[in-house]
Each structure stands twice: as structure tokens, then as C-alpha cells.
Copies of this chain bind each other. A is one copy, B any other.
Amino acid sequence: MPFWCVESTVGDPFGSSVMDKITSLEACDILCDAKSKGLIDFTSTHDDDIVTWDPANPMDDQDPSSECYKTIRALKEKMDKVGLKMKMVTCSLHGNTVFRNGGLTNPDPDIRVLAAQKVMRTLRIGNFFGAEYFTYWVARDGYECQFAVPWDRAYKYLEAGLNLATRYIKENKLSIKYCTIEPKPNEPRGEMFLATTGHALGLISRLEDPSMWGVNPELLQHEGMTNLSATNAAGMAIHAGKMPFLHVGNQKAGQFDNDSPILTGMDGLKEMISVLWILEKLDWKGHIEFDNHVLRTDAAPGSANSIQVRKDFIKFNVESYRMAEKKAEDLAANKDLNTLRAAMLDKSSPMLKALESYDLKALQEAKIDYKKVNEAPVSNANIDYAFNKALLGM
């Protein structure tokens, strides 16, 4: 459960914050409480969630007299006490107004320098906490007006920004072992340079060290925003060996970024549980991070609510997730379902070897009984029905 989810005051473009603001130390207490209760194992943070960036002092994290220096130590002390790990850090290039026209891809070189300084500071802070991952989410690297984009340089800027992060990590031997891209199709910008899990995978192959980079899809939200499929995102990223973790929440397809708590909302039960079932079937070893906030309707102002609503929110998310995970495990372990799948998916054939070994000659000469295979019905729907029944516990 990341700091930003707990700190969110759930304002939206049509109404102000509902919740009172809390400090990062208060947020940390809430997270440590959740750790103590066995609800969570680790957390994540943007730099600004815990120590606000001061562009005049980009190295404040190294200065013992600074607020930043003291705060990160106070936070770490709290976290160490309960064994709460900082798993991932990410640099906010969206909150500060200076990045309103882009962070890593801002056309103004001076702003790209500010972005670079902010990324380096974030990496150092991550290192201080012993974070394993650094995440670049696309933030404001995009556009609304295609004629105002430097098409000959935009992706170069993006690649340079990401290469800079890995160079800095390596040169300084930081704790971060792996970096991820979190793609998103739109919002806050009209179009993002890296819209989907596919786009992230495509870009990674062009970076200096692709082995340092993977993708953390935000499911169901970011793929669902343009009616793409969360199952596909997870399936392709895992197949590529490039999904160390994922972000979870719920989304009504084709809308603004809902960031609703997992399973909460109009639909998404089947899709979310099927994603978790894929993780089970593929024996995935990554980790799950929440990335959502309390429904704005369910937040409440006032100091009495300020801590309690946030604690309830964590508990609610964890319980919802565990319900989904339990169902996914049950589906994955269900022998009848696995048998049904095997009957359709594990069909044997003397040609299997030729297919796997690219035996072009054998493939070319094979005699397949076209009429037989063409008239043999398959039933995807029967498999789906059996899973529906199990999903509904009927």
C-alpha cells in the first residue's frame, strides 16, 4: 500500500478535497499499523509523498540540517520498527506545476534538467530506504496538440530520461535492482507517449540496458481506460519475463482513471479474478501493490474521520484483494476446470515436434484431414461457463 494512496484527499476536477490532509509521518503511522496487523508487507512512495521537492535544494536529502534528511530518517525508524519495507520509489513529475508540459520529454531543456535532478534525488531517497524498484509512470509525458510535439526528438528525450536513471543507479551502486514503466493511455495529458503495456515493452527494447527494465501495468485501470484487456497485459508482460509487480484497482471501462478500490464498482469481478488466476497458472513470483484510493463519496471531512477512514480504506482493500485471490487460487486448483481446459488446449498431434523445431519440410509435407478438423466443434463457451459457475460459487 503506497504512501500516495493513503495520503490522498480525494479531490476531483469538480470538487475540492474531501479528506483533511495528513503529514507523511501520520501516513507512515497508518501504514505501520497496517503492517502490524498483518494487512500489508511493504509500501512504495513518490519523493513528494514523503519529502516535498525544493528545486532550490535538489540535494537536500544529503544535507543533515534539512527537513528532508530528518524526515526520511524518522520515517525509516518507524518502518524498521515494524518491519515495513519500502519496495519501490517513483519520482513525481506530475504534481509540481513546472512539469505541466512534460517531465522527461518537456521541450524546455531547463525543465528536463529539473526532471533529471528530481529523478536522481528520488533514486537516492529510494536507496536510503533500500528500495528494490524504481518506477517511471508516464505522468505528463504526452500531448494534447500533435502539431506542438517535436516528433523527431520526443522518444529520444524519453529514452534519454530512462537511460539516465539506470546510469545513475549503476554509477552510484544504489539499492535499486530493476526499473519499471507504468503506461497509461491518457489523463492527465490528452495522449501519452507510452499508452499501454505493449508500448512500454516496445520502448524497453530500445533502451541502453533492456535487462534493467520491465513494466508494471495498473490493472484494471490503465488498460481498461481504452477498453483494452487486463488479461492480455498481464499475459504478454509475464511471457516477456518483464512484470516484477503490478498495480491493482478497479475501473469502469472507457472512462477517466477511476482508481477505485479493487473489485469495487460496476463490474470487473471476472476480469480481475482472471488476472490473478493467470498469475497462479503461470506460477508468477512477483508482488502485488495497491494503486487506488477511497471512493470520494465514502471519504469524509473532519479530523475524527481523517485517520479512521484511511485505516478502513487499507483494510477494505486488503480484504477485497484477499477475496479475489482466494477465488483465483480456487479456480487454479480446481481439477474439473483444469481437466476441461486440458481437453481443449492440450490436444496431442504427431506434428507437435515439427512445429516446435521449425521443421519446415515436415510441416510442408504434412497431410492434415481438413474436413475433420474443420467440422470438429470446440467450445470456449463451455469452459467459460464452468468458470462462471465456479466464480459465482454455484
Question: Once the chains bind, are A265 and B384 in contact (CB under 8 Å)?
Answer: yes
Task: Decide yes or no: A190 and B252 within 8 Å by CB, A202-B201, A265-B145, A345-B150 being known contacts.
Answer: yes
User: Using an 8 Å CB-CB cutoff, how does the interface string of A283-301 with B read, 1 for contact, 0 for none?
Assistant: 0000000000011111111
11 A–B pairs (Cβ distance < 8 Å), ordered by A? A14-B187, A108-B349, A145-B266, A155-B235, A160-B355, A160-B356, A186-B255, A197-B202, A267-B270, A300-B377, A327-B392
Closest residue of chain B to A268 (Cβ to Cβ) is B267
Q: How far is the CA of A236 from the CA of B105 in the complex (A)?
A: 14
Residues of B within 8 A of A160 (CB): 355-356, 358
Interface size class of A (residues with CB under 8 A): 35 or more
Say whether A88 faces chain B, with CB atoms less than 8 Å apart.
Answer: no
* Pairwise interchain contact B15-A95, C-beta atoms closer than 8 A: yes
When C-beta atoms are compared, the residue in chain B nearest to A139 turns out to be B14
The answer to the question of A21 belonging to the interface, with a C-beta cut-off of 8 Å to chain B, is: no
Cα distance, A186 to B228, chains bound together (Å): 9
The 3 closest A-B pairs by CB, nearest first: A393-B393, A201-B202, A198-B199
- Report if A73 contacts B (CB, 8 A): no
Residues on the B chain within 8 Å of A148, using CB: 341, 344-345, 380, 383-384
What is the chain B residue whose CB lies nearest that of A111? B373
CB distance B109 to A349 under 8 Å?
yes
- Can you list, as one digit per residue, whether each of A377-394 has a CB less than 8 Å from chain B (1) or not (0)? 111111111011101111
A191-B229, A231-B191, A258-B190 are known contacts. Are A108 and B152 too (CB-CB below 8 A)?
A: no
Q: Is A249 an interface residue (CB 8 A)?
A: no
Contact of A22 with B by CB under 8 A? no
Inter-chain contacts of A296 with B (CB < 8 A) = 100, 188
Which of A107, A111, A239 has the most C-beta atoms of chain B within 10 angstroms of its own C-beta? A239
Q: Number of copies of this chain in the oligomer?
A: 4
* Chain B residues, Cβ within 8 Å of A75: none
Question: Closest residue of chain B to A205, judged by CB?
Answer: B205
Q: Is the CB of A295 within 8 A of B144?
A: yes
Within the assembled complex, what's the spacing in Å between the Cα atoms of A229 and B142?
11
Choose, from A32-40, A114-122, A125-133, the stretch at the interface. A114-122
Residues of A137-156 contacting chain B, CB below 8 A: 139-140, 143-156
Question: In the assembled complex, how far is the CB of residue A266 from the closest CB belonging to chain B, in whole angstroms?
Answer: 6
Residue A23 CB within 8 A of the other chain: no
For A215, give the chain B residue with the smallest CB separation: B202
A148 to B297, CA, bound (A): 12
Pairwise interchain contact B229-A266, C-beta atoms closer than 8 A: yes
* A195 with B193, Cβ < 8 A, contacts A145-B383, A364-B120, A378-B101 known: no
B231–A266 CB distance below 8 A? yes
Question: Which residue of B12, B110, B147 is within 8 Å of A384 (Cβ)?
Answer: B147
Chain B residues within an 8 Å CB radius of A345? 107, 148, 150, 153
| Distance A299 CA – B331 CA, assembled complex (angstroms) | 26
A227-B201 in contact (CB<8A):
no
